[in-house]
Copies of this chain bind each other. A is one copy, B any other.
């Protein structure tokens, strides 16, 4: 995945997520999937990424269950790739990145990609909220809890997923 790191011995969901999407190309492929891209040639054109790299990333995202491959033509066989529910759940990661880049790289007035929140009709700016009470949270609103004594490492969590898939 374009890195020299292995952090599968950590017990951390951030590291676990990076195992799946911790590669700039991978995140941009997913970004483009949210924009509606579905076909190899579309990503190739959008990203200018080498074909072998793109093929490897798509294969990995399908293996991880983030994208689903669908045959849209039988002869010759042609696949398109759509986000699964697991893949759509990455939207908060992308929206958080979008918000940070808008604020700190482009500046809010110069954001190149904008959305409207359909619910209220206003330009969308992302905040992080508590799922329980709905309140917006900031850096000082969270207190860490002690780690469970039996916390699994990233490597153990992936191995368990594979084992569960195999018996499903």
Contacts and interface: CB of A to CB of B under 8 A. Distances in A.
A89 interface: yes
Given A49-B5, A90-B100, A122 B115 contact: no
Interface residues of A, number: 90
A91 B138 CA distance: 8
A78 interface: no
A31 interface: yes
Interface string A1-31: 0111101000111111111101111011001
B136 A134 contact: yes
A67 to B, nearest CB: 13
Contacts of A11: 112-113
A40 to B, nearest CB: 17
Interface in A82-113: 86, 88-106, 110-113
Q: Which of A4, A34, A100 has the most CB of B within 10 A?
A: A100
A161 interface: yes
Contacts of A25: 3, 5
B88 A92 contact: no
Interface of A: 2-5, 7, 11-20, 22-25, 27-28, 31, 34-35, 47-49, 53, 86, 88-106, 110-120, 122-139, 141-145, 147-148, 151-152, 154, 157-158, 161
Given A16-B105, A125-B132, 9 more contacts: A15-B28, A92-B99, A96-B128, A106-B157, A115-B143, A117-B132, A120-B132, A127-B134, A129-B134
